[in-house]
């Protein structure tokens, strides 16, 4: 697949403030993105989306006719838009407000104002998902990796699966909580477990502890991907058997580094 460049990306910028639209538009242009359409409301964005089919929607949080989650839900409910990435740009700091976007599979959550490096990271992640480069491990064939993906959010699992698939991992089994994850382990072998922390029935820590008590599975590396990773300390959960901890939004480059850390070992 030919490499995709920033100037080939198409973006819908949804922002109620004309001043902010101009500011963000300038940042996008500086990053090499010129195919940008804009909307000032949720209603206008919903009208434009089916015909535009953008690669990425960049949206503020609050509008006079709704909120960004209304727009994200609209995108995820329409099959023709299923591959559209979503990035939130907001001055909102309340964890309860931001966590729903982390769980829903945003490619990035940028603060207002944001630094160019933050925008570039989000653009790179979008490019990685749309047109990924080949990813190689020294000790594993990526296409042969078997991954157990455990998360109680269907939207989060869908996004995490897409991140794994973008680097060439296709043998993925999904489970909606730790208990279902343990049941999946009973009949299959895996090379990696990727789990959320906060889940009903059995959370990520309990899942890890259960896995480590089973000799046949105790060796499997466990990656925890949590919307509250900043509240967790890897040193505090390593005793439960967690090998690596990372935050949501979860991006392809982070996954590549983590897999090299966990699987490319002597």
Give residue 241's domain range. Answer: 142-263
Rounded-to-integer distance, Cα 9 and Cα 36, Å:
9
Is 149 contained in some domain?
Answer: yes
Along the 266 residues of the chain, how does pLDDT read in single tens digits? 456 788 899 999 999 999 999 999 999 999 999 999 999 999 999 999 999 999 999 999 999 999 999 999 999 899 899 889 999 999 888 877 888 888 888 888 998 888 888 899 889 888 888 887 788 888 889 999 999 999 998 888 988 999 999 999 999 999 999 999 999 999 899 999 999 988 998 999 899 999 999 999 999 999 999 877 666 666 777 777 899 988 888 888 889 999 998 887 65
For residue 89, give the CATH number of its domain: 3.40.50.2300
The residue out of 130, 150, 170 marking a domain boundary is: 130
3-state secondary structure of 62: strand
Clarify whether residues 157 and 258 are in a common domain: yes
Rounded-to-integer distance, Cα 35 and Cα 131, Å:
17
Look at the chain and report how many structural domains it folds into. Answer: 2
CB contact at 8 A, 95 and 247: no
Is 32 contained in some domain?
Answer: yes
Clarify whether residues 51 and 112 are in a common domain: yes
CB under 8 Å to 249, separation ≥6 — which residues? 102, 105, 106, 107, 108, 109, 125
Q: What are phi and psi of 66, to 5 degrees?
A: 150, -165
Clarify whether residues 101 and 170 are in a common domain: no
């Amino acid at each position: 697949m030919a490499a995709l460049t920033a100037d080939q990306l198409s973006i819908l910028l949804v922002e109620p403030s004309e001043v902010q639209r101009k500011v963000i538009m300038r940042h996008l242009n500086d990053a090499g993105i010129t195919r940008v359409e804009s909307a000032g409301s949720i209603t206008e964005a919903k009208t434009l989306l089916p015909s535009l089919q953008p690669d990425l929607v960049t949206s503020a949080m609050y509008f006079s006719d709704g909120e960004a989650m209304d727009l994200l839900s609209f995108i995820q409910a329409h099959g023709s838009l299923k591959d559209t990435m979503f990035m939130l740009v907001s001055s909102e700091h309340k964890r309860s407000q931001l966590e729903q976007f982390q769980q829903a599979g945003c490619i990035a959550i940028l603060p207002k104002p944001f630094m160019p490096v933050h925008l570039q990271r989000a653009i790179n992640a979008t490019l990685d998902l749309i047109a990924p480069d080949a990813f190689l491990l020294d000790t594993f064939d990526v296409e042969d990796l078997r991954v157990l993906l455990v998360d109680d959010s269907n939207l989060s699992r869908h996004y995490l699966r897409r991140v794994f698939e973008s680097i060439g991992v296709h043998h993925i089994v999904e489970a909606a909580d730790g208990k279902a994850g343990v049941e999946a382990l009973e009949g299959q072998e895996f090379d990696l477990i990727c789990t959320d922390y906060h889940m009903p029935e059995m959370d990520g820590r309990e899942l890890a502890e259960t896995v480590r008590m089973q000799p046949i599975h105790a060796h499997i590396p466990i990656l925890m991907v949590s919307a509250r990773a900043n509240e967790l300390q890897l040193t505090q959960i390593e005793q439960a058997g967690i090998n690596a901890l990372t935050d949501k939004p979860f991006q392809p480059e982070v996954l590549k580094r983590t897999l090299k850390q966990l699987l490319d070992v002597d």
